[in-house]
Structure 1
Amino acid sequence: MKFALHFGNNSFPDGAGAARVAKLAESAGFDTLFAIDHVVIPRDYATPYPYSPTGKLPGDDSSPYPDPLIWMAYVAAVTTRLRLMTGVIILPQRNPLVLAKQVATLDAMSGGRIELGIGVGWLREEFEAIGVPFERRGKRADEYVAAMRALWATDDAGYAGEFVAFKGINCNPKPVHGSVPIIVGGSTEVAAKRAGRLGDGFFPSIGSQTDILPLFDVVRRAATAAGRDPAAIEFLTGCPDALPQSGKDARAAVEARRAAGVGRIVLPMTAFLPNIEESLPRFGETVIREFS
């Protein structure tokens, strides 16, 4: 079982803090550090945030949301083993050719430690501010995934879709392992089906207000229907009962997740604050080591 920390870049938005938490996480045995994504947050938005009963994002207008790729590049430079993942980048808002170059460069320079967690977004007002249509963003995301994989796979690449099309294109450097794992985020059946069709993994939000375990079967069925091996898709999910403050049996909680098919446990950074110098190593000793 692997363990990951979520909300790295907004919890530690400055360089010194990013380096501090990354080194501690790597030393404690965490596999992955996640960085979230919002390009802009409109002051007044009516679209409800789906992962909070209040319908609003945590924080206020001045809350920092460092660009995840730049933040990950900084962290990659001060670590050697820790994997880094966008959790999740709002894919339809990004130019797929530019993003493919950025991600492949970061992967090559980090020695193949990058994963691209993707989502289609929920904040209509953000899309409007950026100038990207909110409608049909799922279809746009599907095409962007295919286009990026084409660029990563070979030179003289081509792709023809409704939202992106090119031919005879070279994009280098390539990812270390030939591609970058794409992890589909979201706590809906639509997201689960997308993960089954084209994802290397599925990551329902750890703040989901619904039971996400039934979505794993949706992923498996979608993978089978697409002619893919369901066993090749990794499942990532939260595990609140594994946290020390839960008062629960952490080992039993993690074992239950593993029995459900989960390969990586994702825990919120906030659960380890404020004293990460004590809490992260202690979690590594008492929980992570048990599963290494």
Structure 2
Amino acid sequence: MKIGVFSTFMSPLATPEMIRDFGRHAEDIGLDSIWMGEHVVLFDKNTFGYPGSKDGRIPVPEGGGLLDVVATFGFLAAATSKLRLGTGVALVPQRNPLYTAKEICTLDWLTNGRIDFGIGVGWNKEEVEACGYGWEDRGARCDEFLEVMQRLWTEPVVDFAGKWVTFEACRLDPKPIQKPHVPIIVGGYAEPALRRAVRFGAGWYGFNRDPAGTKDMIRRLDEAFAKAGRERRKDFQIIITPPATMPVDAMQEYAGLGVDRLVLNLGSQRPERIRERMAEMERLVKSAA
């Protein structure tokens, strides 16, 4: 079982020096990957609360905000040589699919194939609408956008006629280093998300899942594969971020469930807390080796 870290870098704590040193330290202690969440803008009032906190709000420092994933991964890629970099998750239905395809394959090209494209439909209604898209149809739009990206990554010339995207004789280069394309890791717990994982996914990502919840989701995922007349391949990755409160010494339980990659939540980005958390992760890397 490989060990990674989830850290949505936020200003003002996430300075260039902090991010560079963090990436190098993560690589030095043997972590497999760094994963980042994505929100381009935040709102004082939301229709639905953030599912990752008790009060429904993203814990952003006063006067701060979330750094852009693509730009930050470009910066981290230059500071590291082995770490994989994963979006956890990119909000596909509020992104332009051609720009997204270009950004992700360029990152893959520049990192020599170190990118994992974790995707989801998002929970923030206001953010989706502010980006110029509808809320209710975001699932169907996500599927169409993923199809567009897959084809642009794998075909030399693409014609496409969909509900949201239409073009003829379109070329996107360079192609990703990874083949057949950048791995798509699907996040989400509803039935449409599981069907999306079966259709597009090289893996499934569960955030804030304890062992019992992970076991149940793997069962449901296998049922989704069976409904599609397929079996889950051995190389289909199960990636989990455990609850932040879960003791590190209890995390070997995930290996017994068949989890391939465990992505621990960094939590606070204050220097003293980073030192403590990285020491915990280093012990887990050694015990999982």
| TM-score of the two chains, using structure 1 as the length reference | 0.88
Distance in 2 (alpha carbons) for counterparts of 1:229 and 1:169: 34
Distance in 2 (alpha carbons) for counterparts of 1:229 and 1:147: 25
Distance in 1 (alpha carbons) for counterparts of 2:123 and 2:276: 36
Aligned residues of 2:108 and 2:182 also touching (Cα < 8 A): yes
SS of 1:104 mapped into structure 2: helix
Q: Deviations over 1:154-184 (max 9, x none)?
A: 2112333222233321101111023001111
The code of the aligned residue for 2:9 comes to N
- Residue 7 of structure 1 is matched in structure 2 by 7
The code of the aligned residue for 1:288 comes to V
Aligned partner of 2:254 among 247, 252, 257: 257
Point out the more displaced range, 226-235 or 272-281.
272-281
Distance in 2 (alpha carbons) for counterparts of 1:155 and 1:48: 42
Q: Higher helix proportion, which one?
A: 1
Aligned residues of 1:24 and 1:277 also touching (Cα < 8 A): no
- Residue 62 of structure 1 is matched in structure 2 by 63
- Residue 29 of structure 1 is matched in structure 2 by 30
Aligned residues of 1:108 and 1:176 also touching (Cα < 8 A): yes
Aligned residues of 1:35 and 1:85 also touching (Cα < 8 A): yes
Q: What is the number of residues matched between the two proteins? A: 284
Aligned residues of 2:208 and 2:241 also touching (Cα < 8 A): yes
- Residue 233 of structure 1 is matched in structure 2 by 236
- Residue 271 of structure 2 is matched in structure 1 by 274
Structure 1 unaligned residues grouped into runs of 5+: none
| TM-score of the two chains, using structure 2 as the length reference | 0.89
Structure 2 unaligned residues grouped into runs of 5+: none
Aligned residues of 2:89 and 2:120 also touching (Cα < 8 A): yes
After superposition, the Cα gap between the structure-2 partners of 1:49 and 1:278, relative to the gap in structure 1 and judged at 3 Å, is closer
Distance in 2 (alpha carbons) for counterparts of 1:51 and 1:108: 32
- Residue 215 of structure 2 is matched in structure 1 by 213
Aligned residues of 1:4 and 1:31 also touching (Cα < 8 A): yes
SS of 1:287 mapped into structure 2: helix
Distance in 1 (alpha carbons) for counterparts of 2:48 and 2:280: 39
Is residue 107 from structure 1 mapped to residue 108 from structure 2 by the alignment? Answer: yes
The code of the aligned residue for 1:142 comes to D
Point out the more displaced range, 188-197 or 105-114.
188-197
Distance in 1 (alpha carbons) for counterparts of 2:49 and 2:280: 37
Structure 1 ranges of 4+ moved more than 6 A: none
- Residue 129 of structure 1 is matched in structure 2 by 130
SS of 1:195 mapped into structure 2: helix
Aligned residues of 1:43 and 1:61 also touching (Cα < 8 A): no
- Residue 182 of structure 1 is matched in structure 2 by 184
Distance in 2 (alpha carbons) for counterparts of 1:269 and 1:189: 29
| Structure 1 residue 38, shift from structure 2 partner | 0.6
Q: Deviations over 1:235-255 (max 9, x none)?
A: 111345996xx3x6x2xx343
- Residue 39 of structure 1 is matched in structure 2 by 40
Aligned residues of 1:183 and 1:202 also touching (Cα < 8 A): yes
The code of the aligned residue for 2:149 comes to M
| Structure 1 residue 266, shift from structure 2 partner | 1.2
Is residue 200 from structure 1 mapped to residue 191 from structure 2 by the alignment? Answer: no
- Residue 160 of structure 2 is matched in structure 1 by 159
Aligned residues of 1:150 and 1:159 also touching (Cα < 8 A): no
After superposition, the Cα gap between the structure-2 partners of 1:62 and 1:229, relative to the gap in structure 1 and judged at 3 Å, is farther
After superposition, the Cα gap between the structure-2 partners of 1:261 and 1:155, relative to the gap in structure 1 and judged at 3 Å, is same
The code of the aligned residue for 1:289 comes to K
RMSD of aligned residue pairs (Cα, Å): 2.4
| Structure 1 residue 200, shift from structure 2 partner | 1.1
- Residue 281 of structure 2 is matched in structure 1 by 283
